[in-house]
Amino acid sequence: MEFKEKQKKEVMNALKKIMDLSENPIQPSKSIKKVIYVVDSPNICSIEAKSEEAKRVLCKFVSEENKKVLDIDYFNQKGEIAQSKYSNEYFKEIMDIIYLSDPQGKFKLTTALDYPATIENKHFRVLLAPVVDEE
């Protein structure tokens, strides 16, 4: 499924609220096989493109294709999934990207104690670092 032009612009604008455009963006080939993801400058949020169309949009924020894929185990030592706190500001911007890229679709949210949240749909996989309480 390709993004409509208006949808593509809306997703780009939502991404720009979190990420900086690359000065030398990669040029997508006809079919992008590698993983494409970007991390914001404070290292709070990572966005991975899952669909071909999402990869084409995300290329504008990446200077070269990344080889590393972030993988997170959300279970604690007891095998339980725990809770964490996340920034409302980032979460709202991320949900804009998820919604605008697939308004009729569904998304999956995974969290664990002191682990990044994963929010994903068929186009994007986003990791959001938890807020750490200062003691």
Number of folded domains that form the chain: 1
pLDDT digits (tens, 9 = 90+) for 71-106: 565 566 666 655 677 888 888 999 999 999 999 889
Choose among 44, 45, 40, 51: nearest CA to 8: 51
List, as one string, the DSSP characters of 65-104: ----------B-TTS-B---B--HHHHHHHHHHHHHH-TT
pLDDT digits (tens, 9 = 90+) for 40-74: 877 788 888 888 888 888 888 876 544 444 556 55
The rounded mean pLDDT for the chain is 79
Q: Does residue 56 form part of some domain?
A: yes
Q: Does residue 72 form part of some domain?
A: yes
Q: Does residue 135 form part of some domain?
A: no
Q: Does residue 30 form part of some domain?
A: yes
Q: Does residue 59 form part of some domain?
A: yes
Q: Does residue 130 form part of some domain?
A: no
Q: Does residue 68 form part of some domain?
A: yes
Q: Taking the model in full, what pTM does it have?
A: 0.69
Enclosing domain of residue 25: 5-125
What percent of the chain is modeled with pLDDT above 90?
19
Residue 64's pLDDT is 58
pLDDT over threshold 90, residue 24: no
pLDDT digits (tens, 9 = 90+) for 118-134: 999 999 999 998 887 66
Q: Does residue 131 form part of some domain?
A: no
